[in-house]
Structure formats: C-alpha cells, structure tokens
Amino acid sequence: MPEFTKREKILLFALGIVCLLAAIFAYNAFFAKAPDVAFKLEDGQAIPVFESEENSSGGMPKAKIVVHVAGAVKNPGVYELDEGSRAIDAIKAAGGYLPEADTVSINLAKKLQDEQMLYIPRVGESPAAGDAGSGGILPSDGKININSAGLEELDRLPGIGPALAQRIIDYRNQHGPFKSVEELKNVSGIGEKRFEEIKNFVKVN
C-alpha cells in the first residue's frame, strides 16, 4: 500500500470535501422536491399557480371586528366577525330573525364597523338609528345621550316615536338633566317594558 506524504493527504482530504459538496449540489439540483403547482384558467390558457402564491392571496387570516346585535334576533349579543362583514352576516351570527322582526326597514348590505350596534326593530318600531335603510346601526358606542339629544335623535330609539321623544325633552326641561338612565321611567309613557327595550341604547353624561 503506497504511503502518502502529509501534503498529499491534505490534498486528498480537500478533494474529498469538493466531491462531497458537488454530490450535495447535484442532488439538490436534480432530486429535490419541486414546489407544488396548480393551474388556473385565464382567457382560455392554463396559468401555473405555485403554492406560495395561493398562500399569499388566501392564506393570511382576516382582520376581525366586534359588533353588538340586538332587537328581534334569536340570540342577541356581541359577535366577532370578519372585517368587511355586512348586516346580513351579523344577523346570521345571531341565529337569524324572530318572526316579529321588521325586515323591510333593514339594509342587509350595510357594511359593519368595529364597535357598532346593529338593532333589528320589530314591526311597528322605529329604526334604532338613521333612516329606514340604515339597518339600525347606532353610531359611536351605540348609545344616545338623553341629556343632550334632540327630538330627532330620541325618535331613533326603539319604540320611541315623536310624541315620547318630546315628553323626554319636556321632562328634562322641567326637572333638569337626567341623573341616570333609570330616571326615564318617570317619563309618562315609558314603563318597565319599554325601558327594557331602550336602556342599552341610552346614556347620561
């Protein structure tokens, strides 16, 4: 068996390292798994769509919003929905309408925003906010300040028409600002049942 000098041993070792690196490179180039490819049809042509492209377009989680659904729905409460959800999505999350819901006054296509309240009125009630097509969406924190609200704002409360709204204002003018929302029950025409309908939509400052 031939004997190698120290220099020759170093050269042979270096040559072995080079061969090993070359083998690894060749394996990665010819045998590594290619990325998964799907195809989509555009203008009659099959266009490759790589897995990374699919993940970038549809794999990211959507932002969330939180809305309060109240009124004539099966399960009133607070629900987390995808950002960009519409009124119809919130109603479905709450279990759907009750039979007495006034569906005509609701704009089902209304886009919701975080921290909004969606009130579904019953037949005969006024929409909770805005015009008849507003979908009953209350602005800001969803509550009307009964110490500063005018006739039009108070009229938007569920079950409160122009006559009751004027009585609230008259009571406020005679007795001073409301000290609590419960004081609304002192207004003629607002009993326990009606107060329960509006208590979550009003506040005092």
90-129 tens-digit pLDDT: 999 999 989 888 887 778 888 888 878 888 888 876 554 4
Same domain, 85 and 119: yes
Whether residues 76 and 48 fall in one domain: no
What's the pTM value of the predicted model, to 2 decimals? 0.42
| The pLDDT of residue 22 is above 90 | no
How many structural domains does the chain have?
Answer: 2
The reported pLDDT for the residue numbered 24 is 81
Could you give the CA distance from residue 196 to residue 186 in angstroms, rounded to a whole number?
14
Final residue of a structural domain among 38, 58, 78: 58
Select the more confidently predicted residue: 26 or 97: 97
Residue 40, domain extent:
6-58
149 shares a domain with 195: yes
User: Which carries the bigger pLDDT value, residue 135 or residue 48?
Assistant: 48
Q: Is residue 1 part of a domain?
A: no
DSSP state of 85: -
Same domain flag for 53 and 73: no
Task: Label residues 124-152 b or e (16+ Cβ within 10 Å = b).
Answer: ebbbbbeeeebbbbbeeebbbebeebeee
State whether 80 and 40 are in the same domain. Answer: no
Weakest-pLDDT range from 60-64, 90-94, 131-135, 152-156: 131-135
Report pLDDT for 43.
52
Band of residue 169 on the pLDDT scale cut at 50, 70, 90: very high
Residues 153 and 93 in one domain: yes
- Over 88-130, what HEC string results? HHHHHHCCCECCCECHHHCCCCCECCCCCEEEECECCCCCCCC
CATH number of the domain bearing residue 146: 1.10.150.320
117 within 8 A of 94, measured Cβ to Cβ = no
Q: Which pLDDT score, from 0 to 100, does residue 79 have?
A: 92
Query: In terms of domains, do 101 and 177 share one?
Result: yes
Q: pLDDT tens digits for 178-203?
A: 999 999 999 999 999 889 888 888 89
